[in-house]
Structure 1
Amino acid sequence: MSERIAHSGLKNKVMTADEAAQFVNHGDRVGFSGFTGAAYPKALPTAIANRAREAHERGDEYAIDLLTGASTAPDCDGVLAEADALRFRMPYQSDPEMRKKINSGAMQYADIHLSHSGRQATSGVFADIDVAVVEVTRIDEDGNLVPSSGVGNNVEFLDQAKKIIIEVNSWQSLDLEGMADIYRVQPKTPIPITDTGDRIGTTYIDIDTDKVVAVVETDSPDRNSAFTPPSETSEKIAGYFLDFLEGEVAAGRLSYDKFCMQSGVGNVPNAVMAGLLDSKFENIKAYTEVIQDGMLDLIDAGKMSVASATSFSLSPDAAELMNQKADHYRKYIITRPLQVSNHPEVIRRLDLISSNGMIEADIYGNINSTNVTGTRIMNGIGGSGDFTRNALVSTFISPSIAKDGDISAIVPFASHIDHTEHDAMVIITEQGVADLRGLSPRERAPKVISVAHPDYRPLLEEYFEKAQTGKHIHTPHTLSEAFSFHQRFLDTGSMQK
């Protein structure tokens, strides 16, 4: 670790994770690094969970409030939730154990736009941050931190925290140094990015080394979940998305050169990027949240010229490739603080096309991306709102059905609304493309119904026809039946029966 911890004073603060966990006390507000399964602390979560269990066995209280950049992993969010070590969590999570605790009411969860989370932390919304626990790939001679596979809200947490614990992970490639572009967003000050590839900051995070109470050495991989092979459904959705892009070119609204994209995480977005490999688009740019496998493929093929994000979200094979070739990929990839990667000002300026997933859409174009049947949280809104509201064109992509056809992604009225009809412009399923731009609510409804699964179209058409018999029909609804799909699902286990 001598080359990883080059600051003489911080070398003297190396200790075990169990020793470092003693600095994290009951009731503390703790800021963790981590974003979409990358760059999260690997050792401290288990040590904190063990401390919580020991306290509970003694009959003592022990729980902390946890702030992150986004989701982490089972060995972080999962172990803490399982040990009942969390009282509160924000801004995004995807862990099954944590989801159970949130939905049962055992812990509180604030689902926050990611672009808001760091600003709220620095403005005192969450009061003081007692401890920041941040993973890095290296500490340089001056005590500056070289980010590992993500940046997230690290800058804000490190600046605000009273105490800092650093995990130095030797699994992360030393060649990641130089990939990050660290810039502190200042209120009322424009962010000087006019092109995706602009670098405006430093390659490291400078900190107050006097606040560091512990340095912990680790050698553990990121979560790195494997992507499943593209299904027939995901390939159809990708095909329709590419057809939509071709239509934008034909209409003179898009060029084959320097198309700028944002993409959510998952198998369908990766299928879209696989389709771009064989497309006419060249010099593709990505201004997004995460670097995915498909982006590495586009870079390797010479199709993507630059990708800006806050973190990685790679499969195990792609993560191994990144560790082997980080010195190559840092010529094309920039990792930024979350406040920059998701900032509305920059997103609007770059005229990008966004693409995100959803749980359901209603016939007028309102999108639910967070709560099943309106009450049960899945993951959270993440950054989809940041990009949807500010993109040149916002798209939502999803299979038209789930649970073997028992759930329709198109419903009469969304049971929870994260993205209103004013922000969602295009909906794409394996059934086709619904371009809702410039249409009134009654003009949008047939378009949305057309991309529903054929098994559900008659039910949706029947609802829309009945809703138009009312007195006020700008946005026709029959409120007594607006949630009939959801009620059937709760009663019978299927929206269809």
Structure 2
Amino acid sequence: MSDRIANAKLRGKIMTADEAAEFVNHGDKVGISGFTGAGYPKVLPGAIAEKAKAAHAKGDEFMIDLFTGASTADDCDGTLAEADAIRFRTPYQSDPILRSKINDGTTYYADYHLSESGMYVSEGFFGQMNVAIVEAVRITEEGHIVPSSSIGNNVEYLDEAEKIIIEVNSWQSENLEGMADVYRVGKLPNRKPIPITDPGQRIGTTYIDIDVDKVVAVVETNHPDRNAPFKPVDDVSKKIAANFLDFLEGEVRAGRLSYDKYIMQSGVGNVPNAVMSGLLDSKFENIKAYTEVIQDGMVDLIDSGKMTVASATSFSLSPEYANKMNAEASKYAKTIILRPQQVSNHPEVVRRIGLIATNGMVECDIYGNVNSTNVMGSRMMNGVGGSADFTRNAHISSFITQSEAKGGDISAIVPFVSHVDHTEQDVKVIITEYGYADLRGLAPRQRARKIIELSHPDYRPILEDYYDRALHYAKENKVMQTPHLLEEALSFHQRFVSTGSMKK
């Protein structure tokens, strides 16, 4: 490990996780590395959780405000949440224990767009950042940090924090060095344009330079990222992927896309990963990605030669593919670029590049509004993440989903969404296993029938009945733009809450 800590001053600050946790106090604002289960600190969260438990046993308070890049893992978010050590959390999470604490009111949660969360820290929106805890592949002779498998908001936390704790993880391959492209966006006002016009451009450094004097502890670890395996591609996912490819083929026929000019963004999850698998057998070549995560399907596209470059802020790989990335990091560094999320998700760059965005959702309504976050309107699932960064600014914004959930008791298409994350103005294409609805150039009443056709057959008659009666009411009352029956607009959700199913 001494080879990985090349700075003599910082070698003198090596200590245990329990010792380093003493620098974290009740009420601190703590910014940590980590994004979709990659690159998060592996041992400090557990040590902080034990400190919280000890304080609570004495009747003392101990909770921190926790800032990340996105979701982490059970041994970070989950461990801290279980210890009731998180007072406030932002910007994105996916841990079931933390989710329960958010929904039962133990933890405050602010669901911010990922492209903005680092900027809010830099601008002092949350107050002074007390501690930054960041995982590194190694520390250079100059004291620079070489990021591990994610970058996220690391730059902002390291710049703004009063104290820095570095976890140097020997599990992470040293060959990840060179993959990072660290560029500081700068503070407001009058920022300079981010000089990216192609996903493959490098504009920064392969390390994060820090104020070495702020480092209070260095902790050595040897722990893997905790990424979950993707589910096998089932028939429904294959149909969704085929429908997405049909949409892309339509864009080629219309002259808006060519087989060698596809630039993609893909959200996290099994269905988006299945879509990328579908691209392997497609006519598309020279695919480029400007996105926030590298998933298994994207690695397969790179291996096949179909994808020539992938720019992101993090990996989101299965354990098998994470080990593969570690073993072959030097090879993948030729095609993969990891950037700070304020760059990877920046609306300016997304709009300029002209990519096609693909994200998942909880539900959409018959007019194209999308809910990505709240089940039944109030129960937080994970968060909006970076989906809105890409949805509003992409050349084409698509959402993909299975038509039903919970064994058929929940329809992904409803009369009106119970929570709005993406408005009808931003949503261009909806895709399920029953086809796709291209909403571009259509008024709300023209969209409704197309979207209803994507619903599960069990729900299609109910949706058609609702829309027909809403249309009749609208004609009688001369309110034709977006017909609704207000007393029934959330009837699907009310029925589920009352009976456990949206079905009549």
TM over 0.5: yes
SS at match of 1:334: strand
Alignment of 1:245-260 (within 5 A): 245-260=248-263
1:469 deviates by: 2.1
- The Cα of 1:473 is off from its aligned counterpart by 1.7
Task: State the partner residue of 2:503.
Answer: 496
Take 1:64 and 1:5, find their aligned partners in 2: how far apart are those partners?
29
**CA deviation digits over 1:277-312, x for unaligned, max 9?**
111111100000001111111111111000000000
Deviation of 1:248 after TM superposition, in Å, equals 0.3
Q: TM-score, normalised by structure 2?
A: 0.98
The partner residue of 2:489 within 464, 468, 482 is 482
TM-score normalised to structure 1 length? 1.00
1:428 maps to which of 426, 431, 434: 431
Q: Does 1:468 align with 2:471?
A: yes
- Tell me, yes or no, if structure 1 residue 227 matches structure 2 residue 221: no
Whole-Å Cα distance in 2 between the matches of residues 294 and 478 of structure 1?
Answer: 42
Mapping of 1:191-202 within 5 angstroms? 191-202=194-205
Partner of 1:310: 313
List aligned pairs for 1:150-229, cutoff 5 A: 150-186=150-186, 187=188, 188-229=191-232
CA distance in 1, matches of 2:33, 2:274: 29
Alignment match, 2:41:
41
Please tell me the residue identity of whatever aligns with 1:496.
K
SS of corresponding position for 1:137: strand
- CA shift, 1:2, in A, is 1.5
Alpha-carbon distance in 1 for matches of 2:95, 2:290: 26
Q: Which amino acid aligns with 1:480?
A: E
Give 1:279's aligned residue.
Answer: 282
The one of 322, 327, 349 aligned to 1:324: 327
The amino acid across from 1:107 in the alignment is T
Instruction: Give the drift of 1:424.
Output: 0.5
Looking at structure 1, the residues matched to 4 and 168 of structure 2 have their Cα atoms a distance apart, in angstroms, of 7
Whole-angstrom distance in 1 between the partners of 2:349 and 2:328:
29
Q: Tell me the equivalent position of 1:374.
A: 377
> Which residue in 1 is equivalent to 2:79?
79
Q: Secondary structure at the match of 1:427?
A: strand
CA drift of 1:111 comes to 0.3
Output the CA distance in 2 between the equivalents of 1:27 and 1:154: 21
Deviation at 1:271, TM superposition (A): 1.2
Superposed displacement of residue 169, structure 1: 0.3
Counterpart CA distance in 1 for 2:158 and 2:459 is 50
CA distance in 2, matches of 1:168, 1:23: 17
Deviation digits for residues 31-77 of structure 1 (CA, Å, limit 9, x no counterpart)? 01000000000000000000000000000000000000000000000
AA at the equivalent of 1:184? R
Find the aligned partners of 1:376 and 1:270 in 2 and give their Cα distance.
26
Name whichever of 40-49 and 266-275 sits farther off: 266-275
Displacement of 1:398: 0.2
Aligned equivalent of 2:124: 124
State the aligned residue count. Answer: 497
| Structure 1 counterpart SS, 2:156 | helix
Residue 91 (1) aligns with residue 91 (2): yes
d(CA) in 2 for partners of 1:71 and 1:450? 34
Instruction: Quote the residue 1:24 is aligned against.
Output: 24
Instruction: Find the aligned partners of 1:476 and 1:272 in 2 and give their Cα distance.
Output: 34
- Unaligned 5+ runs, structure 2: none
SS in 1 for 2:465: helix
Unaligned runs of 5+ in 1: none
Asked if residue 358 in structure 1 is aligned to residue 361 in structure 2, the reply is: yes
Which letter does structure 1 place at the counterpart of 2:499?
A: T
How far off its partner does 1:225 sit?
A: 0.6
Moved more, 64-73 or 179-188: 179-188
How much does 1:316 deviate? 0.8
Q: Which moved more, 1:325-334 or 1:459-468?
A: 459-468
Residue identity in the other structure for 1:55 = A
Map residues 375-394 of structure 1 onto 2, 5 A cutoff.
375-394=378-397
Tell me the C-alpha RMSD between the 2 structures.
Answer: 0.5
Name 1:141's counterpart in structure 2. 141
Aligned pair partner of 2:412 in 401, 409, 412: 409
Structure 1 segments (4+ residues) deviating >2 Å:
none
Match of 2:273 among 262, 270, 273: 270
SS across alignment from 1:305: strand
**Secondary structure, in 3 states, of the residue corresponding to 2:88?**
strand
After the TM superposition, which residues 39-78 of structure 1 pair with which residues of structure 2 at under 5 Å, given as runs? 39-78=39-78
1:320 counterpart letter in structure 2: N
Within 2, Cα distance between the matches of 1:174 and 1:54?
36
